[in-house]
Amino acid sequence: MIATVQAALTDDDLVHLRRAMVERVVVSRSLGVIIDVTAMDIMDSFASRTLREVAQMIRLRGAETVIVGIQPEVAFAMVQLGITLEGVVTALDLEEGLEYLNQKFKSNG
């Protein structure tokens, strides 16, 4: 399952996203979720916290999350601010994200 995030998400949007993602995972019985944040202009503490929570909640429902598309400038700002997406798998883009999930399920299956 792939979710693409739009550019300027408000906090409310992020909260909705979190809920929506988790519900969809259950319904679709996905094994892997890719969240594409290419269009996010910045990632602040709230956004990163929410994404971490999404990943955790998805994991509880038996699926794996990969966040892809963090831009160089955004990554730079994040580490300067001291935000890490600790415990969340990240990949460069959609292709890499799919590759990662394929590898993971191949080795599990």
Partner 1 sequence: MAKEIGRMERSGVRQQPTLTMSSIEGTASLLRELVSHLRQNRTQLREEWARRITEAQLLTAMSKEEIFAEATAVYDQYVEALETGTFEALQAYARSLSERIIPRGVETHEVVGIVLLLRDVLARSLFAKYQADFRKLDRILDAYEPAANRIANTVAVGFVQERERVIRQQQEAIRELSTPVLQVRERLLILPIIGVIDPQRARQLTEQLLRAIRTNRAKVVVIDITGVAAMDATVANHLVQTVEASRLLGATVIVTGLSPEIAQTLVTIGVDLGKMNTVGDLQGGIEQAERLLGYKVVPLSAAAASA
Partner 2 sequence: MSDVICVPINSDKDIVTARQEGRSLALELGFSETDSALIATAISELARNIVTYAKRGEVHIGTATDAHREGILVVAKDKGSGIANVRLALQDGFSTSGSLGLGLPGVKRLMDDFELVTDVGRGTTVTIRKWKE
Residue 70 binding partner per list partner 1, partner 2, none, with a CB distance cut-off of 5 to 8 Å that depends on partner kind: partner 1
- Judged by CB under 8 A, the residue of 13, 44, 53, 93 near partner 1 is 93
Q: Name the residue nearer to partner 1 (CB basis): 10 or 80.
A: 80
How many other C-beta atoms can be found within 10 angstroms of the C-beta atom of residue 10?
9
Binding of partner 1 by 85 (CB under 8 A): yes
Cα 97 versus chain centre, distance: 10
Q: Name the residue nearer to partner 2 (CB basis): 76 or 105.
A: 76
Binding of partner 1 by 4 (CB under 8 A): no
- In terms of Cβ atoms closer than 10 Å to its own Cβ (0-12, 13-18, 19+), residue 93 is middle
**Which uninterrupted H or E stretch holds 33?**
strand 32-36
